[in-house]
Amino acid sequence: MADKLSPQARSKVMGRVKSKNTGPEVLVRRIVHRLGFRFRLHGKDLPGRPDLVFRRRRKVIFVHGCFWHRHHCGRATTPRTNVEFWERKFSQNIARDNAALEALDVMGWSTLVIWECQTKDETQLARYLDTFLESVSANRNRAEIPLPLIL
């Protein structure tokens, strides 16, 4: 199937896709702030530039879009045009995400990945965020919100 937009129009549309301050990210920030936690944004000195950084706690949170980071919730569709490009793009994104999580783990940081689809139930999300941020973990860990929370 051919793209309905010209290459210039498609480029303009794709150029407007935000990588920072997305709706789900702002929602997570608002919940964390309401819980009383303070954080820094987009840690430039940390692998993967985490969305929220809690330095004293040595914890970071990534808020991933299901489409771009390939969550298995059904929102991770593959465009029908230029399939090779998209498959390469998505596999690079996944590899980059995994490398960042591994590097943070080696550096002693605990990580939490929140998927866009998991931001629908604010009450449950707030409970899980509070648990993750309050926990004092002797061992470093990676966390994801359990699957039943996905709506």
Domain ranges of the chain: 19-146
In terms of CATH, what superfamily is 19-146?
VSR Endonuclease (3.40.960.10)
- Which tens digits make up the pLDDT trace of 68-106? 788 888 777 888 888 898 899 999 999 999 999 999 999
- Which tens digits make up the pLDDT trace of 105-117? 999 999 999 998 8
Q: What is the pLDDT of residue 65?
A: 86
Q: Is the pLDDT of residue 8 over 60?
A: yes
Q: What is the pLDDT of residue 138?
A: 47
Q: What is the pLDDT of residue 48?
A: 93
Q: Which two tokens stand for residue 106?
A: 């080696």
